[in-house]
């Protein structure tokens, strides 16, 4: 799985995020260096995450238990 360029975000738990538009994958790198991929996420939803006032809260409310995901590293 190719990880796209990750964009740093301001968050206490999330270091950076990236998007693979072709596959609709969102990649989230946490501050503990683990990387998760969330599948079937639209570009609009990714941009909402990227520009959310609280990236961690937005991810928790709108990604967890909504999109299938797996830890990839």
- pLDDT value of residue 8: 97
% of the chain with per-residue pLDDT over 70: 100
- pLDDT value of residue 1: 82
Judge whether 10 lies within some domain: yes
Mean pLDDT of the region 36-40: 98
Query: Is the pLDDT confidence value at 51 over 90?
Result: yes
Rounded CA-CA distance 59/15 in Å is 13
What's the domain count of the chain? Answer: 1
Judge whether 58 lies within some domain: yes
Does residue 63 contact residue 26 with C-beta atoms inside 8 Å? yes
Mean pLDDT of the region 20-47: 97
Judge whether 1 lies within some domain: no
Q: Which domain holds residue 52?
A: 6-71
């Amino acid at each position: 799985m190719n990880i796209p360029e990750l964009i740093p975000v301001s968050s206490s738990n999330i270091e950076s995020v990236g998007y693979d538009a072709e596959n609709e994958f969102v990649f989230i790198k946490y501050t503990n260096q683990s990387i998760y991929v969330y599948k079937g996420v639209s570009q609009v939803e990714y941009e909402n995450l990227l520009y959310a006032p609280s990236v961690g809260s937005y991810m928790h409310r709108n990604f967890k238990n909504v999109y299938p995901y797996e830890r990839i590293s």
